[in-house]
A = this chain, B = another copy of it.
Amino acid sequence: MGITKSEIFTKEQNSIAKIAKVLGHPARIAILQSIIKSQSCICGDLVTEIGLAQPTVSQHLKELKNLGIIKGTISGTSVCYCINHENWNEIKAILNNFLNLNNLAENCCKI
Contacts and interface: CB of A to CB of B under 8 A. Distances in A.
Which one of A41, A50, A95 has the highest number of Cβ atoms from chain B below 10 Å of its Cβ? A95
Main secondary structure of the interface of A (DSSP, over half): helix
Instruction: For chain A, give the interface size range.
Output: 35 or more
- Count of identical protomers in the assembly: 2
B27 A23 contact: no
A2 interface: no
Interface in A17-56: 17-18, 20-30, 32-33, 36, 39-41, 50-52
Nearest to A80: B109
A73 B5 CA distance: 28
Contacts of A110: 73
Contact of A95 (B14, B21, B99): B99
Given A4-B25, A17-B29, A20-B23, 5 more contacts: A13-B30, A17-B28, A24-B24, A71-B109, A83-B105
B80 A108 contact: yes
